[in-house]
Structure 1
């Protein structure tokens, strides 16, 4: 059987990040529950691992197969590569093969922007602190700009050179961005975007304003985190799915282990979309923390959108 193949360039041409935000929103609005999505499988291999992410929603089922090869960058190859197989939910007939990396490139910032749409202030341009200088950091700025007006952007990278480079890229596409050498901009930020591979907290949680929003999307491992327990225990915490967060979200898992929160403190993205932001508990007000790890249903929604287009 010869299946249609949708390339990375075709996916980018067919699906804008704004389209992806709307599609994810619509899936939740029309009844999809992420709690029903199968768990991600991690298969160890000699030279890395395979991540298998199956999902079913509406008329489609699919699975993303992502390979993680830590030694690849030294050979000039991508560390993470991926392929997506899209099928009919009714017959399980294969319909198309899509570039998995391009799907991830679009759905991850779109997922973050969906949370920002429901959590961030609308009465003024958002002052942003952006941690990260890679493709996801750049993509997140475009995604957030599709749902909110953006003001000044402070870019915090691992080195001054990387911060300067990312700030220049953002200025080149119309953002008012500048390089920052530390987390000094966090106390003034309306929105803090954590788009890194950091294993330890990027800033002190006590420095975030009570009315700010923090998005942490950089990890899906239980022993890695971008934010500290102080922020988690101060915040109203939103996750894609509680069970998934308790397996994979190190920011949450480690805070639970330190007594900062309990599983009952976690709210879901679905409840945010359907019911709006949760009211402060016992009159307490603090930041909104939106922690994502990436789930198979999100890839499926974007893959189906690219296929239908």
Structure 2
């Protein structure tokens, strides 16, 4: 008989899920291992669960060597909106050892995915805006928006301003509560999208909108538009930017409902137009001209989830955190 470990969300936090330095290190390490063939992914499995295109289940497998020594699967169910007291996204990541296949454990990973996503954003901002940033417009009020705000306040303590916007104004209250008087950054909620965007040199889209709302007027010299959410950016807006960047271009371009990949399948975007991916930005030091208008599409790579979960399970084992289960 063997034992495996399960980490709840609270367990994952206790094991270091909110450690932004470690999270960004995981992103860089995973990309390095992907490049050498010591990590890999296969195409995700997508299962529709209803008429709404946002309501789907995803199976995302990956392996990663090095100190992670993990092969795993993230299983996640997305709903268009939260139901009752349930979140709109529920997710569990299962990890086996890569070297011998032994089961290691599982992690309740909705929060892990949110941190992974925000860590990718942090790394991309650092690479794409090496001269620093002065103002960020954060669009959305859901889980990803909240985690991105946590990241911005932690990683950019001297950031002068963050503007918040969401279609439903009261949903911004929990985000505003995060920025108390001890925070140097001015965090302000805006009634209109135009007001939120006005002075932003980085726009982070974290909504679940099925219809794009960022038009060509959003494009500006030196501005970085980052699409984290579902389908916020119009094709014309992407086409109008000087440089298009992505975390990675892969088989998911044939399936993903993200704006860039819909545009590609509609025959309005050529893969050759991608100026740089995240490995080029983080590992090779690729940088855009300072005055270029930029678009970054964050698909979300399953290898990052496996790396994060493996690190947390290893740390939890050291600290004896989590619930031990019996495995044959």
TM-score by length of 1: 0.85
Among candidates 110, 114, 121, match of residue 112 of structure 1 = 121
State the alpha-carbon separation in 2 of the partners of residues 160 and 13 from structure 1: 32
Structure 2 portions without partners, runs of 5+: 316-328
Matches within 5 A, 1:118-267: 118-123=127-132, 125-148=133-156, 149-171=158-180, 174=183, 175-184=185-194, 185-219=196-230, 225-233=231-239, 234-243=241-250, 244-256=252-264, 260-266=268-274, 267=276
Tell me how large the CA RMSD over aligned residues is: 2.8
Flag the 1:60–1:32 CA change in 2: closer, same or farther, 3 A: farther
Cα drift, residue 54 of structure 1: 0.5
Query: Residues 203-234 of structure 1, C-alpha deviation per residue, up to 9 Å, x if partnerless?
Result: 22333321121211112xxxxx1112233121
Select the residue among 96, 120, 142 that pairs with 2:105: 96
Equivalents in 1 of 2:106, 2:226: separation in Å? 31
SS of alignment partner, residue 97 of structure 1: strand
In terms of fraction of residues, the more helix-rich structure is 1
Cα distance in 2 for partners of 1:140, 1:173 equals: 19
Q: In 2 relative to 1, CA 299–165 (structure 1 residues): closer, same or farther, beyond 3 Å?
A: closer
Structure 1 unaligned blocks of 5 or more: 220-224
What CA distance in whole angstroms lies between the structure 2 residues aligned with 1:107 and 1:120? 20
1:36 deviation in Å?
Answer: 4.0
- Deviation of residue 60 (structure 1)? 1.0
CA distance in 2, matches of 1:45, 1:161: 29
**By how many angstroms is 1:260 displaced?**
4.9
Change (3 A) 1:83 1:74: closer
Deviation at residue 79 of structure 1 after TM alignment: 3.2
Tell me by how many angstroms 1:33 deviates.
Answer: 6.9
8 Å contact kept, 1:17–1:107: no
The answer to whether the 8 A contact 1:249-1:291 is kept is no
State yes or no: 1:5 paired with 2:6: yes
Give the number of aligned pairs.
299
1:54 and 2:64 matched = no
- Of the three residues 271, 283, 288, the one matched with 2:294 is 288
Q: Distance in 1 between matches of 2:228 and 2:155?
A: 18
Q: Secondary structure at the match of 1:237?
A: strand
Greater shift, 181-190 or 208-217, is seen at 181-190
Q: C-alpha separation between the residues in 1 aligned to 2:111 and 2:169?
A: 28
> Which one has more relative contact order, counting CA pairs under 8 Å at least 6 apart?
2
* TM-score normalised per structure 2: 0.81
Q: Deviations over 1:27-55 (max 9, x none)?
A: 22455479941111113458964311110
Secondary structure of 1:252 counterpart: helix
